[in-house]
Structure 1
Amino acid sequence: MDIQPITAQPPSRHDQLMHKAEELEATFLSEMLAHSGLGEMQGSFGGGQGEAQFSSFLRDEQAKLIVQQGGIGLAQLIFDSMVKAEDHAA
């Protein structure tokens, strides 16, 4: 039995740009969620320093999920701008 290696195609330049645009949208959304106070515990039942340190991980994942579900359209605007900038540079 001869096993053939699987050769994956490298992502296209457009795929790479869209991935980076989605990362930027997720970062933006994470910051906006942080400033909105999402996940902050009120009163004496807060998680203290541990909660404060790890809540950013939860916000980051929530922001990534928002982007995966379509986001707010920021990734597409960023992508279009990057493609336009590359086209003018070429």
Structure 2
Amino acid sequence: MTAPGLSIALSIPAAEQVNDNAKVAAEKDAALRKSAAEFESVFIAEMLSHAGFDKALSENSGFGGEAFSRMLVESYAEELTKNGGFGLSDQIYSQLKDRSS
């Protein structure tokens, strides 16, 4: 094998390793972004509950209505987060991304 052929053969495993590292980094980044969004969603749901939104939805509806209203509040919080929320997930993501680098 000639020197140029040898360098190409040696660089293929290195290129595969770089691709694997990039894939792992992208997966970690996606997981971090998802966790930050989930945290914001839970935070918004708690804010809405403490503001009495779940009780207002379930007024005079009994135990089933209370359980349903909590699920509805959580659903609203998830939708708010998907549509931009308060920007808390972006801030959390940025802070955690800086620390993991």
1:28 aligns with 2:43: yes
The 5 Å alignment of 1:31-70 reads: 31-41=46-56, 46-70=60-84
User: How many residues are aligned here?
Assistant: 77
Secondary structure of 1:54's match? helix
Q: 1:41 to 1:25 in 2, by over 3 A?
A: closer
Q: Following TM superposition, where does structure 1 have runs of at least 4 consecutive aligned residues deviating by more than 4 angstroms?
A: none
TM normalised by structure 2 equals: 0.67
Structure showing greater relative contact order (alpha-carbon pairs closer than 8 Å, 6 or more residues apart): 1
The root-mean-square deviation of aligned C-alpha atoms, in Å, is: 2.1
| Contact 1:30–1:59 (8 Å) recurs in 2 | yes
| Contact 2:41–2:77 (8 Å) recurs in 1 | yes
Give 1:74's aligned residue.
Answer: 88
Larger-Rg structure? 2
TM normalised by structure 1 equals: 0.74
More helix by share: 2
- Once the two structures are aligned, what percentage of the paired residues are identical? 27
Q: Which runs of 5+ in 1 are unaligned?
A: 1-8
Q: Which runs of 5+ in 2 are unaligned?
A: 1-22
1:16 aligns with 2:31: yes
